[in-house]
A = this chain, B = another copy of it.
Amino acid sequence: MSERTRLRRLPDKGSHDRAVINEILDEALICHFGFVRDGYPVVLPTIHARVGEILYIHGSKAAGNLRTLKEGIEVCLTVTIVDGIVAARSLFEHSMHYRSAVLFGKGRLVDGPEERITAFRAITERIIPGRWDDARRPSEAEDRQTTIIAIKIDEASAKVSDGWPDDPDEDLDLGVWAGVIPIAVSYGQPIPDPRLDSAIGLPDYISKLVEPTD
């Protein structure tokens, strides 16, 4: 554990447990990755996928941002899942239920054909499990247009915030409602492409993805 991942605040909520970190990485749909460009911080959103100790992100070769990363510069990659709002009796004790993971590492260009397939597949299956075996896989020309970056999960930490409002006893008689308002990401009913042949039904793996989980 380095100075960068030392948990600076509320250490009771922090964790260096790799299982906790992996679960957060695997559930979050997107990450925000930061790097230094011309001395300034830059933070951008993207999709990520984890394979073991490696996190993959990808993008168009024409985009300048991944070009920067593949030079091996330092990157900070953060994912955050918001689970709820904690409404306390005092504004001061208001907070959020969230789970976040912060990773530090250096980007590495993925150019081996086998590892590229591994990364493509992981990114696809991360977003729509089952899609890899159904949709058309990348052609050679499409493959050439895509930059894939690997970041080894060397230094990482997680924060998990949950629990009830932490109001001091003297606030309990204020007559103010207090509790937790749950927040979740939900999927709507899939909308077919206007160009879709109406004989093609929704695949089971997408029906399953969008089913309400609660």
Contact A82 B40 (CB under 8 A): no
Once A30-B80, A40-B74, A183-B186 are accepted as A-B contacts, the answer to whether A177 and B201 lie under 8 Å apart by CB is yes
Contact B172 A180 (CB under 8 A): no
Contact A164 B138 (CB under 8 A): no
Q: How far is the CB of A95 from chain B (nearest CB, A)?
A: 9
Among A12-20, A108-116, A189-197, the one that faces the other chain is: A189-197
Contact B185 A189 (CB under 8 A): no
Q: How far is the CB of A89 from chain B (nearest CB, A)?
A: 6
Contacts of A60 in B (CB 8 A): 9
The answer to whether A102 has its CB under 8 Å from any CB of chain B is: yes
Contacts of A43 in B (CB 8 A): 32-34, 43, 76-78, 102
Residue among B64, B100, B210 making CB contact with A9, cutoff 8 Å: B64
Contact A183 B193 (CB under 8 A): no
Contact A8 B65 (CB under 8 A): yes
Contacts of A146 in B (CB 8 A): 92
Chain B residue at minimum C-beta to C-beta distance from A47: B96
Once A30-B82, A60-B9, A188-B182 are accepted as A-B contacts, the answer to whether A87 and B175 lie under 8 Å apart by CB is no
Residue among B127, B175, B178 making CB contact with A193, cutoff 8 Å: B178
- Could you tell me the dominant secondary structure of chain A's interface residues? mixed
Contact B94 A135 (CB under 8 A): yes
A residues with CB within 8 A of B: 3-4, 8-9, 29-30, 32-45, 47, 60, 62-65, 74-78, 80, 82, 84-85, 87-92, 94, 96, 98, 100, 102, 104, 120, 124, 127-128, 131-132, 134-139, 142, 145-146, 164-165, 167, 171-172, 174-197, 200-203, 206, 209-210, 214
Instruction: Given contact pairs A9-B60, A182-B190, enumerate 13 new A-B contacts (beta carbons under 8 Å).
Output: A30-B98, A32-B78, A34-B34, A34-B41, A36-B41, A42-B76, A90-B142, A94-B131, A128-B181, A136-B171, A177-B201, A179-B192, A180-B190
